[in-house]
Structures are given as structure tokens and as C-alpha cells.
């Protein structure tokens, strides 16, 4: 039977508790669709700092290297906040993982289901049917990794600098991911840049215009990043796919996630180069953070972790039926009124549940 290896990095905060629910769901689809996974659970983030002194220990990297994909929980918390940035859980684990595995394409769905518009901070009448945006963020370039980056003394005072840099091929490949995604959806793509100020954005925009020629069915438009930050607030449902560079994607995808109102339901995928056969090595994680304030209480929404598992099945294992089954079961559980605290209103027809009971509801609908 088909068999795969997954590195499981649950991390900190709510990570472990939502991860165990996701693994229960994975067990169920394995049984149902006839494949198996070998899972290696490894330390990452604050948990790894506590155990080994480093947020991304070599054994964790080795385990990821030996796997078909990484299922990631979340990292960080007040306990490690005063460490130097380089060894903090988030930065010290996420950036090296992205760079080491060349995970240049970050796919972040920003979905507000029609039944959950009340949870969005945006007025219901602006999003009568909810919305469904896919944000495609370049994840290994730009000002995150550009050199030179640092500090020196000039004219007797400290001067600090970062370099925002893009090779054309880096822009080209992320745009192709976005155009391809758009082809499988609403065929509308908004490319976000700051071409009125940045040289990197001028190259970005030129490349977008070129790549667009290979996708004549996709209707592409350009937005400046400041305008995009405005339109996301006022008209989130006008977007289909949005593509942008690393730093802008960091800001806009988080803004979009907050606007969806259901941070606890949003998965993400960070993909490397496509392999032969169409699959990707990738890392899959909830869009939200480790939520230390509610960790250990059994009330966190496990859906983001469960849907991240579905993305893993689709993009890294090619188990598309299992992925679709999970997504359908999640949608059904929501339709049937199951609500964790983050998305509950107290309205009639809702059943308020905790982490495990939400997973139970999903399992029952698989």
C-alpha cells in the first residue's frame, strides 16, 4: 500500500493540542483511503529551546530531510520573547526551515464562510456571501534574506541597512505558482507591488506582464501595496488570487486573515520546487499563532491544523481524495453548527465545542 513519511513538529502553545486532533483525522483518512504514514515527532520552537537550547535542532532538520513533508504546529510564547531575535522560536525556526528547504511559495487561503461573516470584523453587508481569497506570498527572497544586511558606524553614528533584492527568475517562479492557482479558481489575479517607489517592484511588474502572456485566460491587474491594504478592508470579496513579494505578503496575508474573522480555521502551505509527478516538498501550518493565552485549555479551534493536513495530503502526497474528504467533513461540521469559541455567536442551532469535540464532529462526517 502507499506509504509516506511525515515530520511532525507540533511546537508550542496550542500547537500540540491541535496537532493531536489533526493526527486523529489523518489516522481516519489513512484507514479509509488505504495509505499509511510514518510520523516522526520532533522538537521545534520554544519546546526545542527548552530541550536542546536551539529552536531548530539538527535532529529536527534531519527528520524533515528524510520526510515527504512537514506538518507544523505553531511556535513562540512569552517565555522566549526576550531572547535575541536570531534564536527566538518564530524567527529561529521558520526562516531557516524556509531557506534550508527552498520553500519559496507560501499559499495562504483567506476564507470567510458565508455562515461565519459575523466573526469577521468587517460589516456583514460588505461581505454578504463571505469571501475566498488565496494569497500567494514569495517566501525566500526580498528583504528577508537580501545581503548586505547589518549595521555600521558612519559619521559617528550607527547606520543600519537591509537589502530588498529579487532576481527575475525568483519573481517568475512565484508568479507562475500564482497564475496556475488562479487557473484552478476564479481566473483573476491581483499582483501587488510598490512600483512607484521600488526598483524590485518595477522588475516584479515587468515580469508579471510577461508571465501573464502564458496565462491568457487569467485576468491580471496590479495594485500598489498601500492601496491593496485598503481594498482588503473594504472589498475582501473582490479578490480571487493575490500575489506579492515576501514583506508585503507578510503584512497583507495577516491583514487578510484577521479580516476573515476565522484565524483558527486558516491553513497554509509553504512549497518548494515542484517535483516530477507534480508533487511538492512542503511545510504545512495554521496561519494563526501559538495563542499562549488559550493553550492547554482544550478550547482552541483545531480546524486550521486539520485543513493544513489536507493541504499536505494534496500537495506533498498526492492523496487528493483524502484531502477533499477532510475539507468536505470540515465544511459539513460547520454547516451542522459546530463552533469553537472563536467562531461561536450563541445563536440557535449552534453547538459550542472544544478542540477534541470539534475534531470528533469532523471525524463523524468523514
- Write out the residues near ligand IPM by the rule CB under 6 A: 90-91, 94-95, 196-197, 226, 250
Residue closest to ligand IPM, measured at CB: 90
Tell me how far apart the 2 most distant CA atoms of the chain are, in Å: 68
Q: Of 194, 240, 284, 342, which is the active-site residue? A: 194
- The helix or strand, by DSSP H or E, that contains position 35, with its residue range, turns out to be strand 35-41
Q: Of 226, 275, 335, 336, which is the active-site residue? A: 226
Task: Select from its own copies, ligand IPM, none the partner in contact with residue 104, using the beta carbon and a kind-dependent cut-off of 5 to 8 Å.
Answer: none
Distance of alpha carbon 65 from alpha carbon 352, whole angstroms: 40
Phi, psi at residue 69, to the nearest 5°?
-170, 165
Examine the residue annotation and report whether 187 is marked as an active-site residue of this protein. no
Q: Which residues contact 359 (CB under 8 A, 6 or more apart)?
A: 21, 22, 24, 25, 302, 306
Tell the smallest beta-carbon distance from residue 91 to ligand IPM (Å): 5
**Closer Cβ to its own copies, 72 or 166, answer by number:** 166
Task: Select from its own copies, ligand IPM, none the partner in contact with residue 213, using the beta carbon and a kind-dependent cut-off of 5 to 8 Å.
Answer: none
Tell the smallest beta-carbon distance from residue 37 to ligand IPM (Å): 25
Tell the smallest beta-carbon distance from residue 258 to its own copies (Å): 4
Examine the residue annotation and report whether 194 is marked as an active-site residue of this protein. yes
Examine the residue annotation and report whether 144 is marked as an active-site residue of this protein. yes
Distance of alpha carbon 101 from alpha carbon 86, whole angstroms: 18
Distance of alpha carbon 96 from alpha carbon 89, whole angstroms: 11
Examine the residue annotation and report whether 123 is marked as an active-site residue of this protein. no
Interaction site with its own copies (CB under 8 A):
85, 88, 90-91, 95, 120-124, 126, 143-144, 146, 149-151, 154, 157-169, 194-200, 202-204, 225-227, 229-230, 233-234, 247-248, 250-252, 254-255, 257-259
DSSP 56-93: S-HHHHHHHHTSSEEEEEE---GGGTTS-GGGSHHHHH
Examine the residue annotation and report whether 68 is marked as an active-site residue of this protein. no
Task: Select from its own copies, ligand IPM, none the partner in contact with residue 233, using the beta carbon and a kind-dependent cut-off of 5 to 8 Å.
Answer: its own copies
Using DSSP's 3-state secondary structure scheme, residue 134 falls into strand
Tell the smallest beta-carbon distance from residue 230 to ligand IPM (Å): 11
Q: Which residues of 30-53 are buried (b: 16+ CB within 10 A; e: fewer)?
A: beebebebebbbbbbbbbbbeeee
What residues are labeled active site? 144, 194, 226, 250, 254
Can you say which residues are annotated as belonging to the binding site for substrate?
98, 108, 137, 226
Amino acid at each position: 500500500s502507499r506509504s509516506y513519511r511525515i515530520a511532525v513538529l507540533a511546537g508550542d502553545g496550542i500547537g500540540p493540542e491541535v496537532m493531536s486532533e489533526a493526527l486523529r483525522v489523518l489516522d481516519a483518512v489513512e484507514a479509509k483511503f488505504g495509505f499509511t504514514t510514518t510520523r516522526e515527532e520532533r522538537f521545534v520552537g520554544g519546546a526545542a529551546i527548552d530541550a536542546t537550547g536551539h529552536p531548530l535542532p539538527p535532529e529536527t532538520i534531519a527528520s524533515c530531510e528524510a520526510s515527504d513533508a512537514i506538518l507544523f504546529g505553531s511556535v513562540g510564547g512569552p517565555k522566549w520573547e526576550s531572547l535575541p531575535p536570531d534564536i527566538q522560536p518564530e524567527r529561529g525556526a521558520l526562516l531557516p526551515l524556509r531557506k534550508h528547504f527552498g520553500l519559496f511559495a507560501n499559499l495562504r487561503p483567506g476564507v470567510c464562510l458565508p455562515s461565519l461573516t459575523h466573526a469577521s470584523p468587517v460589516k456583514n453587508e460588505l461581505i454578504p456571501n463571505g469571501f475566498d481569497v488565496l494569497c500567494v506570498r514569495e517566501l525566500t527572497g526580498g528583504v528577508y534574506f537580501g545581503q548586505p544586511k547589518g549595521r555600521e558606524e558612519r559619521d559617528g553614528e550607527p547606520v543600519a541597512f537591509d537589502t530588498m533584492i529579487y532576481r527575475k527568475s525568483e519573481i517568475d517562479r512565484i508568479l507562475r505558482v500564482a497564475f496556475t492557482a488562479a487557473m484552478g479558481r476564479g481566473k483573476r489575479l491581483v499582483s501587488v507591488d510598490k512600483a512607484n517607489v521600488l526598483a524590485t517592484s518595477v522588475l516584479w511588474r515587468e515580469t508579471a506582464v510577461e508571465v501573464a502572456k502564458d496565462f491568457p485566460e487569467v485576468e491580471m491587474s496590479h495594485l500598489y501595496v498601500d492601496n491593496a491594504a485598503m481594498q482588503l478592508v473594504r472589498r475582501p470579496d473582490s479578490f480571487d488570487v493575490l500575489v506579492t513579494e515576501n514583506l508585503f505578503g507578510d503584512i497583507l496575508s495577516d491583514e487578510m486573515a484577521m479580516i476573515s474573522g476565522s484565524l483558527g480555521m486558516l491553513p497554509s502551505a509553504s512549497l518548494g520546487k515542484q517535483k516530477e509527478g507534480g508533487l511538492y516538498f512542503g511545510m504545512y501550518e495554521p496561519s494563526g499563532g501559538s495563542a499562549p493565552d488559550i493553550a492547554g485549555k482544550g478550547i482552541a479551534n483545531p480546524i486550521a491544523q486539520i485543513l493544513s493536513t489536507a493541504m499536505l495530503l494534496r500537495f506533498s502526497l498526492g492523496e487528493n481524495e483524502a484531502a477533499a474528504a477532510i475539507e468536505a467533513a470540515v465544511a459539513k461540521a460547520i454547516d451542522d453548527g459546530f463552533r469553537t469559541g472563536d467562531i461561536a455567536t450563541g445563536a440557535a442551532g449552534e453547538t459550542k465545542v472544544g478542540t477534541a469535540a470539534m475534531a470528533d464532529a469532523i471525524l463523524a462526517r468523514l
